[in-house]
Structure 1
């Protein structure tokens, strides 16, 4: 099985320091939906792994988060893609849960539910915590320069904090192109 794990905010859609609190605030990054379409059509299963602390902070409800995800799934489908599963952590940073990235709990859950070893599975994120979670479970970390990615690269990339072997690309479209070329 060809599987790719994507962070949501900053990878698929525009990120916001004020959080994405409604379906109307969910704005895809140019080319990201088409990238999911190309991956799906090339036989990749696309799974989302996203911290969503806005739930714990009371900024939006689980129902609203579901509506945001429905919009995202429909937009991906309209571009010829499929999002096979969405995993998320609704906890805040101070809750001490095991599922909030950089902790690996959410990724372990993906591996268990899909009955797959995560070694070498590409995980695409825009923040250091995404890449740290990837490395903790043996995923192949990919940093995109969209969202917070450029800042992550400028700080963690130059200080040597990125996990060993991290691939860096401009955006999800460039990641999809590289993966499809390497794994037709």
Structure 2
């Protein structure tokens, strides 16, 4: 009986958390739809430039110093067909950023995404280590890619004050927890 009450309590907590999530649906036309679940208070803006759709996620609260950009691209040829190629591409893309970071090297780690496969590199700004937070100066950066389908790839960038900070974790959780529903005819 005690175990049943514990399980029921956990279930209620999970459901309450889901009810508080901000749900954003991104329509990719014939390619499908993406659903993002954002905990916390975030503004989501959409823009299109050429063949790239961009989603910018910024905090609604003034005291939060974090943001996320998702750039959706639709390659005609799948050059990232394996995990190894995707990881290698992320590390190559991050080479220049790594040189100016405290890490000095781009090491891609697999993201625990629900849909597709993803890798990202984490970087720390050496000039901001030990400094107090300042709006618009981000101490940490995560840059990577999530491949949802052969013709749907997301370039991801998260900027924040710390990898363990709540805003960073909320943004990373939204990326890792996103759902992808392929379009018709796939």
TM-score > 0.5, shorter chain as reference:
no
Q: Which has the larger radius of gyration?
A: 2
More strand by share: 2
